[in-house]
Amino acid sequence: MIADIQEILVDEKALEKRVAELGEKITADYRGKYPILIGILKGSSVFMADLIRKIPIPLEIDFLKASSYGAEARSSGVVQLEADLSMDVKGRSILLIEDIVDTGNTLKYLLNRFESLGAADVKVCSLLDKPERREQRVIADYIGFEIPNEFVVGYGLDYAQKYRNLPFIGILKREVYE
């Protein structure tokens, strides 16, 4: 797997430091509230697991599975909701946990959906932001790292279900996915 990585973009120490900083900011912003943190599976799982341990306030977690990629390297633009929430979000503060915001298609779909479900407010925490790829006008409220327009894997992010267990964010060699 390591041989498929062109370059390490964000190493383990940088990830650990930034996740702690995000946790502090979210803790301050949500103190006195009882938010639901909703992880977008599967990519956000590693990030969310580390993040919630840095947020020492009462919270609930849930997950949903939505994708516009499938096993491809490029977004199809069509969002599929493959697994839904297990709880009611009406009147609740929601913090969506994303691995990466690039085209914005999935995020735009989810923001509209939570608004229609009656959430009190919805914010987004994304480990990575790739603004060069944006097709929808969406902005994450909390961003770990802004990255260039490269295909990245590791720390939960995958290509065809591989590389999620890498402890860093790395640029995947082009020949692997083309």
Rounded CA separation 27/20 (Å): 10
Q: 22 near 85, Cβ under 8 Å?
A: no
Rounded CA separation 82/67 (Å): 8
Q: Could you give the C-alpha distances from 120 to 39, 86, 138, 167, in angstroms and in order?
A: 18, 18, 18, 35
Rounded CA separation 16/51 (Å): 9
Helix 12-30 × helix 45-52 angle, to 10°: 60
Rounded CA separation 148/171 (Å): 10
Write out the catalytic residue numbers: 102
- Token pair of 67 as six digits: 């994708």
- Token pair of 92 as six digits: 């609740």
